[in-house]
Amino acid sequence: MSAKKEKLLVNNDLNRGLVSFQDNRDKPFVRWMKYREGFSEKIVQYFIEHYEKETSHKPKNILDPFVGSGTTLNVASSLGIKSDGIELMPVGTKIVEARKAAYEVSKHELISAVQETLLNYRKNDQQNIFTHNKLTEGAFPKSNADKLSKYRGYIAKYQEQNEPLFKLLDVASFSILEEISYTRKDGQFIRWDHRANKGKGKFDKGEISDFNDLIQKKLKEIVEDVSSIEQTDTNKKALLNIISGSSLYKINQIENNTFDMCITSPPYCNRYDYTRTYALELAYLGLTNESVKQLRQELLSCTVENREKVEHLKSYYHGMGRDNDFERVLSVVSKNRKLQNSLSFLKQAAESGELNNPNIHRMVKNYFFEMSLLIETIFQKMKVGSKFYMVNDNVQYCGREIEVDIILSGMAEELGFEVEVIWVLPKGKGNSSQQMGIHGRNEIRKCVYVWKK
């Protein structure tokens, strides 16, 4: 048994609801948007309580290099803790910016604007027509498309008059796109209702929500949540900072020895393509076909379409005078026996035609290199005695489990961290139905890694 496997410990406090969006559904602010890839507020609170118990003091600064919908930042700011986050997907950035805007508007001005908007937007002639990209054309029934355009056209006047107010009105329509469309998010893809006449699918989504009904409900939620903010809470906006862009690069803008904690959940090594899952939301934000393709390439290498970033990152690190750090990470990756064994297996599976996509081998290799490079830099940004909590899943290809938990923890140790424990959820994740049909049921570990500097 490897030293890292000895660190595996089943934690009965944890469950799948805590490490997913499920537990956030009715929580103020985070309920605005169904961001399924996020984790719950409760688990962030659990990590902070664990940190306080272990160190006997409250953290002052928390980092999340993969912000998602901002759960870590939301919880930290609510507890009076400064937090910095990095997020590449503009979907997540928009949600966090709306949360910050909630601290800048009064309950009375929001209620007044909502009442005026609901009363008048249907009569608006200056529409803001939804500009579709290749992945979203025909996503809405005509009635909902017209209502959405009228609403967006009406609230546009607030963008210059009162930007925080505009952000709140705008996130309301942004957050209901799936429900008013012919689409449903399904894993790493979007499923299309047969009424959209997209291909030969027979999927029936059922009743599609009416825009007018849903926007009224969503605005009511937002008013309720903003109304719950106490006057003394308005200074909490300054505690919450988000940097837009790739954490592989933007992390270097932050000073060393800054953070007491890092809490994050990176993209998993599972071929999940956020640009397709959130295609509607990206179109709403004005991303063209080309800008979506570019965004996909900037993602951490977790899809088979990601091209290799090694040479670009090498040049970037050379420009910062960090050639030694870069070479050190390359060495750590190449010497990790468990990773290299997994890569050899995937290469052979690709050559024999067992892998349904030969680029999985490249994706896995680049995923671990990029994650290791990020871990090395995060180590520098954290204070001595700080703790790193990471939620991540193992993955499986051709019936073989890639032990992401053991591999990343081994690399983290080589890069300076102490691996304190790897909490294992009592119930893991089943493999896909396709994998199950070929290789049988195989439960894959879902874990939280706890590392210390």
| pLDDT score of 384 | 97
Arithmetic mean of pLDDT over the chain: 91
| pLDDT score of 432 | 53
231 band by pLDDT with thresholds 50, 70 and 90: low
Q: Is residue 28 pLDDT above 80, yes or no? A: no
CB atoms within 10 A of CB 99: 24
Name the least confident of 118-127, 139-148, 154-163. 118-127
| pLDDT score of 21 | 64
| pLDDT score of 241 | 92
Return the domain boundaries, the chain: 107-228
Q: Is residue 334 pLDDT above 80, yes or no? A: yes
292 band by pLDDT with thresholds 50, 70 and 90: very high
| pLDDT score of 247 | 97
Nearest to 373 by CA among 318, 447, 307, 314: 314
35 band by pLDDT with thresholds 50, 70 and 90: confident
Q: Is residue 431 pLDDT above 80, yes or no? A: no
199 band by pLDDT with thresholds 50, 70 and 90: confident
| pLDDT score of 163 | 95
| pLDDT score of 47 | 97
22 band by pLDDT with thresholds 50, 70 and 90: low
Q: Is residue 429 pLDDT above 80, yes or no? A: no
Residue 128 to residue 157: CA distance in whole angstroms: 11
Of 145 and 271, the structure prediction assigns the larger pLDDT to 145
| pLDDT score of 434 | 54
Cβ–Cβ < 8 Å for 369, 406: no
Of 28 and 335, the structure prediction assigns the larger pLDDT to 335
Of 234 and 432, the structure prediction assigns the larger pLDDT to 234
Average pLDDT on 1-26 reads 78
Q: Is residue 124 pLDDT above 90, yes or no? A: no
Percentage with pLDDT > 70 across the chain: 94
201 band by pLDDT with thresholds 50, 70 and 90: confident
Name the least confident of 185-194, 304-313, 437-446. 437-446
| pLDDT score of 232 | 56
Residue 167 to residue 182: CA distance in whole angstroms: 25
| pLDDT score of 4 | 76
23 band by pLDDT with thresholds 50, 70 and 90: low
17 band by pLDDT with thresholds 50, 70 and 90: confident
440 band by pLDDT with thresholds 50, 70 and 90: low
The per-residue pLDDT for range 250-280, each reduced to its tens digit, is 999 999 999 999 999 999 999 888 999 999 9
